[in-house]
Amino acid sequence: MSTLKKVIWPQVILFGDSITQFAFQANGWGSEISHKLARKCDVVNRGLSGYNTRWAKLVLPRIVPISEAPIAAVTVFFGANDCALEDKNPAQHVPLQEFTENLKDIVKYLLSIGVSNDKIIFITPPPLQEAAWEKECLLKGSSLNRLNSVAGQYAQACVQAAGQSGLDVLDLWTLMQKDGQDFSVYLSDGLHLSDKGNQFVAEHLWTLLERRVTDLPFILPYWGDVDPKCPESSLLCD
């Protein structure tokens, strides 16, 4: 047994806040990506609800250490907490300039463990539907603690940081509001994704992910290619 060569599944790592942590809910964007990548990659959920980039960059080396499993792609999906208003939500708020620096530090760390920048995809926060999110805030005894226009500034900073680091970016904030469309359908509570929002993220992310995973081999032989008379010959070699 010990001489058998391990089959190592490459990883697609989803690093982000609650919108990533909840990505495996029914019809979630993480599930959809996982399904598409079955027998090619493990899709690893490293979403941390409520976290901003200040906290994310601290924990990243602890949760994405150097590993024998090659990293095929990493999504970096923050901003929804960083953009919280300083006066209403000082615990989660991160100033815009620091947000940009933190994103760059995240990239720097990923490069340091051998993840090349063509494997990193930034995702901006989605637009914020203020009326719906205000209801959530009121339920928790606070007033509206985020604004769509401010989320937009963080999205723009994310797009710029991606450009400066030579990364692809999925600019949800802009795409979901394109041509003045009603983006509320993409959100469940004004901030997190609805079914349609999950589908939107999955589809747009797939267009960016696909070329990064297209050359990955299908892991282990297709069952019809296994020699039924001598399955060892098909299954125990590379």
Residues with catalytic roles? 18, 189, 192
User: CB-wise, 11 or 129, nearer to a copy of itself?
Assistant: 11
DSSP β-bridge partners for residue 151: none
* Interacting residues with a copy of itself (CB under 8 A): 1, 4-7, 9, 21-22, 24-28, 30-32, 34-35, 38-39, 42, 44-45, 47-51, 54-55, 58-59, 61-63, 65, 81, 90-92, 109, 112, 220, 222-224, 226, 228, 231-232, 235-236
Q: How far apart are CA 237 and CA 219, in angstroms?
A: 12
User: CB-wise, 20 or 129, nearer to a copy of itself?
Assistant: 20
DSSP β-bridge partners for residue 73: 12
CB 173, min distance to a copy of itself, A: 22
CB 123, min distance to a copy of itself, A: 18
User: CB-wise, 7 or 131, nearer to a copy of itself?
Assistant: 7
The arrangement of strands across the sheet holding 42-47 comes to 42-47, 11-16, 71-77, 120-123, 168-170
User: CB-wise, 94 or 175, nearer to a copy of itself?
Assistant: 94
Q: How far apart are CA 56 and CA 59, in angstroms?
A: 5
Only one residue has tokens 């027998």, namely: 39
Look at residue 43 and give its three-state secondary structure. Answer: strand
CB 174, min distance to a copy of itself, A: 27
CB 172, min distance to a copy of itself, A: 20
Alpha-helical (H) ranges within the chain are 18-21, 29-36, 53-63, 96-112, 130-139, 148-165, 172-175, 195-213, 231-235
